[in-house]
Amino acid sequence: MTQLDIAKNGVLTNELIRCAEIEEIEVDKLRRLVAEGVVVIPKNKLHNVKKPVAIGSGLSVKVNANIGTSVGYSSIQEEIEKLKVALDAGADTVMVLSTWGNLSEMRRVLVKESYVPVGSVPIYDSAVKAFNEKKNVVDFSESDFIDMVLQHAEDGVDFMTIHVGITKGVLEKSKNSKRIMKIVSRGGAIIAGWMIKNNKENPFYKNFDEILKIAKEYDITLSLGDGMRPGALVDATDVQQLEELFYMQELVEKAYAEGVQVMLEGPGHVPLNEIEMNVKLMKKIGLGRPIFLLGPLPTDRGMGHDHIVSAIGGALAGYYGCDFLCYVTPAEHIGLPDVSEVREGVIASKIAATVADVARGLPKALRLEKQMAIARRNFDWTEMFKLAIDGEKSKKKYEAMNYTDEGCSMCGPFCAIKVTRDYMEDKTQCTTK
């Protein structure tokens, strides 16, 4: 039985109990949210997830980090390093998106190394296999679609992106579209290419029942991928994007009936003024299922700093109800991120998630903000570094300044907190709790 089935039956799993503790939410309330399908707990039966994560309505916003090899880069050591850095920086999940080297073996190693849920995109493997056999990247068979899903399930992956909404109908509509960038989803483009070349329906859509069987057996959470997500700001929120989304509703219902956990993936490149609408529409059409956004990026001109661009969009999306942010690194749109860029990406997304949690008034988030204010008021640097999202970096900078007086080198003797304390307050430590 899946986490969803068990919750429907009123039983508490170890993962559910642990997640309720982390979220500071009453355990039966969390069970009900899982039973309703509006919260998922991704966990493959074969994967020992030591730090489970609950994603969805009413919970803190979660962060996913993408790692994985690419053409010419396939060091498993470097991927393990990326995994460690991402987890240390606070990633709640990782997706292994390798397209170079021994994919299955690397996946198994990373699943074993990861104490958080691991995601993947099975269709990549088919394209890589075709490419390695010197064929076009869309030259593989219909059964490969299903085989790859099963392979990933056996490798222990906890959630998988299945680009199930790119149907013939959606592609037909997109033919005469005014989009500047027709498809920017790697998986989406491969499936669309396969469909056009073979003149066949999307096998994930056609064989969705079979996918559900595998997902049910291993308790894979399906992440319904948005192959048609806009890839440029000027293409945002167009008919193709929405057509694909509309196909999701029946799939959400089918999965729920089978006891399979699902979430919905979303854009992408979205102007700030359209983020609220996008999130609310996804929640509405997706029947309240958890939403997993890549970004969103509210400008295309932030190359080299897309972690910042994505933090802006992610914070606002989280505030409006997005549950799960896929990080974006400074290397996005330029090349494969290195280890330090993975770290920067996770930190930026954690900041966005924190901003959203605070804005949504989550008690835990507000308590941490108050503790930080008190630490700053008391010049308690140790406590500040403990409460900071990235205490490591801020401590390093502070120590490098070698400023020994109270306060810091920014204001020196003119520190507002010191001046205020001297003239407006008693001089005891602030103990407000």
Binders of a second copy among residues 119 to 178 (CB under 8 A) are: 124, 127-128, 131, 136-138, 174-175
Residue 145 C-beta: closest distance to a second copy, Å: 16
Distance (Å, whole) CA 380 – CA 226: 46
CB atoms within 10 A of CB 166: 30
Q: Which of residues 332-371 bind a second copy (CB under 8 A)?
A: 332-336, 347-348, 351-352, 354-356, 358-361, 366, 368-370
Q: For a second copy, which stretch binds (CB under 8 A), given 78-86, 155-163, 212-220, 387-395?
A: 387-395
Determine if 389 is a binding residue for a second copy (CB under 8 A).
yes
Compare residues 19 and 270 and give the one whose CB is closer to a second copy: 270
Instruction: Calculate the dihedral angle through the C-alpha atoms of 88, 331, 63, 47, rounding to the nearest 10 degrees.
Output: -70
Distance (Å, whole) CA 15 – CA 231: 36
Task: Specify the pairing of strand 93-96 against strand 221-224.
Answer: unpaired
Compare residues 79 and 235 and give the one whose CB is closer to a second copy: 235
Compare residues 154 and 274 and give the one whose CB is closer to a second copy: 274
Residue 56 C-beta: closest distance to a second copy, Å: 20
CB atoms within 10 A of CB 202: 24
Q: Which of 330, 342, 345, 346 binds a second copy (CB under 8 A)?
A: 330
Amino acid 255 reads A
CA distance to 108, 310, 358, 359, per residue, from 363 (Å)? 38, 25, 8, 11
Distance (Å, whole) CA 88 – CA 343: 9
Determine if 78 is a binding residue for a second copy (CB under 8 A).
no
Q: For residues 229-245, b (16+ Cβ closer than 10 Å) or e, as one string? A: bbbebebbbbebbebbb
Compare residues 32 and 393 and give the one whose CB is closer to a second copy: 393
Q: Which of residues 254-313 bind a second copy (CB under 8 A)?
A: 271-273, 298-305, 307-309, 311-312
Compare residues 12 and 308 and give the one whose CB is closer to a second copy: 308
Q: Which of residues 80-99 bind a second copy (CB under 8 A)?
A: 99
Tokens 């804005």 correspond to what residue? 359
Determine if 53 is a binding residue for a second copy (CB under 8 A).
no
Compare residues 10 and 304 and give the one whose CB is closer to a second copy: 304
Contact 191, 163 (CB under 8 A): yes
Compare residues 121 and 222 and give the one whose CB is closer to a second copy: 121
Judged by CB under 8 A, the number of residues near a second copy is 111
Residue 184 C-beta: closest distance to a second copy, Å: 5
Determine if 430 is a binding residue for a second copy (CB under 8 A).
yes
Compare residues 45 and 364 and give the one whose CB is closer to a second copy: 364
Main-chain phi, psi angles of 230, to 5 degrees: -65, 140
Determine if 74 is a binding residue for a second copy (CB under 8 A).
no
Determine if 225 is a binding residue for a second copy (CB under 8 A).
no
Contact 5, 261 (CB under 8 A): no
Q: Which of residues 9-48 bind a second copy (CB under 8 A)?
A: none
Q: For a second copy, which stretch binds (CB under 8 A), given 37-45, 150-158, 252-260, 314-322?
A: 314-322
Q: Which of residues 175-214 bind a second copy (CB under 8 A)?
A: 175, 180-186, 188-190, 192-193, 196-197
Q: Which of 35, 76, 287, 417 binds a second copy (CB under 8 A)?
A: 417
Q: Which of 14, 176, 423, 428 binds a second copy (CB under 8 A)?
A: 423
Determine if 70 is a binding residue for a second copy (CB under 8 A).
yes
